[in-house]
């Protein structure tokens, strides 16, 4: 009896799998393969979504940090402050197109059009042909110090002796500060003994330990990147235009796919915070505001940031 069973079993496996068994095996294999494919595509979708979200998060943080840091670090470290002094243009250059250089405010905000749009077209030339900015958006302009030093000797005519002349070059603008005024002067020559020759003398009287600082203007705005998306729509970006000294300003694309920059300022009424939109070019120190708020969008998602000032 046992011999018959063994013979039957051996003959069955020697014939191979039956049709039913083969179909069952194939079905199991297909299910396993389909599951693997589904898992793969689900993971791919998750990865793409996560990568896109990470990209948006990085862009959001970059925009916020760039503008926030610039606002917080704006201004000159003059011991007498900068808001009450008279600014004097002693550079010898016509600064009528760069009025913010000789303005006592450290932060200016406003609508991109018409003044700033004209300013960009004038200074960027052919790289701003047509509309290089996004309409109906705002801008943020700040004055920021890039070097701070002090006078090592009294100013005599056009010769300026400083504690340090590192990173100061011919053509740079310097701000000289005393208790009465701030003179904007232009560097003609940098000597080997921390001495500087100015294009023309400062009108103010400056003595040992008075402030001398190198600074630049930063302009944040939304501009046309020159690229289009898959639907043919313009891709806008956050741009930074930097005006430093008498040289031509430089324009940088900071973060792509950024749109709709808007700026508002806070006022307090009946213990309630009211956010006010900007209707014209405005020096922030004239607003008596405790905070600014800027908003923008990245790939269609909206973000805001409040800056206490």
**pLDDT tens sequence across 44-72:** 555 455 566 778 888 999 999 999 999 99
What does the pLDDT read at residue 308? 96
Q: Which domain holds residue 105?
A: 78-308
What does the pLDDT read at residue 7? 44
What does the pLDDT read at residue 103? 85
**pLDDT tens sequence across 179-219:** 889 999 999 999 999 999 999 999 999 999 999 999 899 99
pLDDT band at 8 (very low <50, low <70, confident <90, very high): very low
Q: Is residue 22 part of a domain?
A: no
Q: Which residues of 224-256 are buried (b: 16+ CB within 10 A; e: fewer)?
A: bbeeeeeeeeeebbbbbbebbbbeebebeebbe
Higher-pLDDT residue of 33, 82: 82
In the chain, % helix, strand, coil (3-state, to 5) comes to 30, 40, 30
**pLDDT tens sequence across 140-161:** 999 999 999 999 999 999 999 9
pTM of the full structure: 0.81
Q: Is residue 183 part of a domain?
A: yes
What are the angstrom distances between the C-alpha of 101 and each of 168, 214, 234? 18, 12, 32
**pLDDT tens sequence across 243-265:** 888 887 888 999 999 999 999 99
Higher-pLDDT residue of 49, 271: 271
pLDDT band at 175 (very low <50, low <70, confident <90, very high): very high
Q: Is residue 287 part of a domain?
A: yes
Q: Is residue 170 part of a domain?
A: yes
Residue with tokens 């008596």: 288
What does the pLDDT read at residue 100? 86
Q: What is the tally of structural domains in the chain?
A: 1
pLDDT band at 9 (very low <50, low <70, confident <90, very high): very low
Q: How far is CA 94 from the centre of its chain?
A: 28
Give the number of other Cβ atoms within 10 Å of residue 262's Cβ.
Answer: 18
Rounded Cα distance between 91 and 105, Å, is 19
Q: Is residue 44 part of a domain?
A: no
Mean pLDDT of the residues in the chain: 84
pLDDT band at 96 (very low <50, low <70, confident <90, very high): confident
Helix (H) or strand (E) holding 65: helix 19-72
Rounded Cα distance between 72 and 309, Å, is 7
State what percent of residues in the chain have pLDDT above 90: 56
Q: For residues 302-306, give the mean pLDDT.
A: 97
Residue with tokens 């005599």: 156
Q: Is residue 160 part of a domain?
A: yes
Which of 259, 229, 253 has its CA nearest to residue 241?
A: 253
What does the pLDDT read at residue 10? 46
Whether the pLDDT of residue 133 is over 70: the answer is yes
Q: Is residue 269 part of a domain?
A: yes
Is residue 135 within 8 A of residue 107, CB to CB? The reply is: no
Whether the pLDDT of residue 122 is over 90: the answer is no
Whether the pLDDT of residue 171 is over 70: the answer is yes
Whether the pLDDT of residue 33 is over 60: the answer is no
State what percent of residues in the chain have pLDDT above 70: 81
Q: Is residue 268 part of a domain?
A: yes
């Amino acid at each position: 009896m046992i011999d018959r069973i063994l013979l039957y079993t051996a003959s069955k496996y020697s014939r191979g799998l039956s049709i039913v068994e083969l179909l069952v095996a194939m079905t199991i294999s297909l299910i396993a393969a389909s599951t693997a494919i589904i898992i793969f595509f689900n993971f791919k979708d998750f990865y793409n979504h996560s990568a896109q979200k990470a990209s948006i998060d990085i862009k959001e943080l970059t925009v916020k940090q760039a503008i926030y840091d610039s606002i917080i670090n704006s201004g000159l470290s003059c011991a007498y402050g900068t808001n009450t002094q008279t600014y004097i243009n002693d550079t010898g250059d016509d600064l009528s197109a760069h009025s913010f250089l000789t303005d006592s405010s450290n932060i200016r905000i406003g609508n991109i059009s018409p003044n700033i749009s004209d300013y960009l077209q004038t200074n960027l030339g052919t790289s701003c042909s047509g509309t290089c900015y996004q309409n109906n958006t705002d801008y943020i302009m700040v004055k920021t110090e890039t070097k701070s030093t002090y006078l090592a000797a009294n100013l005599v005519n056009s010769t300026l002796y400083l504690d340090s002349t590192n990173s100061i070059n011919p053509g740079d603008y310097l701000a000289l500060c005393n208790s009465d005024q701030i003179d904007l002067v232009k560097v003609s020559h940098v000597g080997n003994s921390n001495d500087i020759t100015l294009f023309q003398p400062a009108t103010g009287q400056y003595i040992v330990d008075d402030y001398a600082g190198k600074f630049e203007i930063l302009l944040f705005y939304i501009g046309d990147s020159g690229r289009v998306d898959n639907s043919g729509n313009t891709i806008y970006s956050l741009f930074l235009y930097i005006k430093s000294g008498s040289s031509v300003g430089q324009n940088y694309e900071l973060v792509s796919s950024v749109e709709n920059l808007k700026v508002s300022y806070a006022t307090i009424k009946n213990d309630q915070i009211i956010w006010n939109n900007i209707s014209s070019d405005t020096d922030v120190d004239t607003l008596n505001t405790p905070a600014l708020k800027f908003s923008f969008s990245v790939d269609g998602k909206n973000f805001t940031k409040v800056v206490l000032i």
